[in-house]
Structures are given as structure tokens and as C-alpha cells.
Amino acid sequence: MLFNERQVREEVVIALAQQIMIAGRTAPKAKGVDLLEIVVLTGDQIGALAQAGREIGKERELPFFLRDADNILSAQAVILAGTRIQTLGLNCGYCGCESCAAKLENPQMPCALNLTDLGIALGSMTAQAADLRLDCRVMFSMGAAARRIGVLPECPVIYALPLSASAKSPFFDRK
């Protein structure tokens, strides 16, 4: 049997995206509390995400949202990683509040440790993508687009990690 790389590329990237999601799941978490949600979008779901990004870009007059929305259309898969918000009882003050109890009185302020855990997971996932020789780029803009279309509704903070296998990374040297 003969397989041409062009014919199996999308299927392979989707399989590798599953490995990358596991790298995010196994990344260290503060107090071992796992508040992350990680999903992968493909096909028409990527198109819907791009459309939401375009809408935000036009409404807020943010050209980089338009650029990123067009950019993810070159991806074979887009991983979305978000965090639920929960205080961890450490009273560390990193969120700007004096204590976790005070933070609960300011629900619009996320727990800094939840955000740190998300950042560590994103770093682990981008490292795994690099090890697998996939092109990727962390995009908060398309995370905002994911929020708009209701992906990961329990997560107020979401980042996107588009994945591509092509001759040249579509995520760098952008307009």
C-alpha cells in the first residue's frame, strides 16, 4: 500500500493534536487541582471560530483579530485550552486581593494560579507540538472568538493553539 503525505496530513495532525492535549493535561497544576478544559476543533468548526474572530476584529477595530482569523484557516486542527476559575485557598495575594475570601468578593478577578496553570499547560503543549514537528502559535484572539461562539462556556479564559503541517509555517512572517 502507498500513502502520500498530502493524503494523510490532516488525519495525522488530528491524531497528533490528541497527544498534544495530553501534554496539557499532564502539565503541573497548583495544589494538584486540575481546572483545565482542552478540546480540538477541525473542519467547519475552525471556520466558525475564524468567523467569530473576524466579527470581533471588525467590531473592536482590531486588525490582528482579522489576521489571526484568516490565519487559522490554514490549520488542520485548532486546540482550545481554557481554565475554570476557582480559588485554591493559599491566600497568596497574586490576584491582587488580600485573601482568597476577598477574591470571592471580586469574581471578575481571576485567580492568578489558575492562569499560571493554563500558561504552563500551553507551554507544555507548544513544546509537544515542536517535538512532533508541527507548526503552532498561541493565540489569545482566537480564544476570545471561542468564548463568543460558546466553546468551553465554563472557562472565562481561553487560548487557541492552531496546528499545521505544511512546507512553511503559516503562523509566522504574517502580514
Q: Helix, strand, coil proportions of the chain in percent (round to 5)?
A: 50, 15, 35
User: Which residue type is seen at 7?
Assistant: Q
Start-to-end C-alpha separation, the chain: 41
Provide the angle, in degrees to the nearest 10, between the axes of the packed helices 43-60 and 63-72: 170
Confidence at residue 109, expressed as pLDDT on a 0 to 100 scale: 78
Identify the residue with better confidence: 7 or 33: 33
77-83 and 135-136: which strand pairing?
A: unpaired
Contact 110, 157 (CB under 8 A): yes
Q: How many CB atoms lie within 10 A of CB 52?
A: 21
Cα gap 123→128, rounded to integer Å: 9
Q: Which residues pair with 80 in a beta bridge?
A: 39, 160
Give the pLDDT confidence score for residue 14 in this predicted structure. Answer: 96
> Average of pLDDT values for 46-70?
97
**DSSP for residue 99:** S
The string of pLDDT tens digits covering residues 29-53 is 999 999 999 999 999 999 999 999 9
The distance from CA 43 to its chain's CA centroid, rounded to whole angstroms, is 17
Residue-range domains of the chain with CATH:
5-164 (3.40.109.10)
pTM (predicted TM-score):
0.94
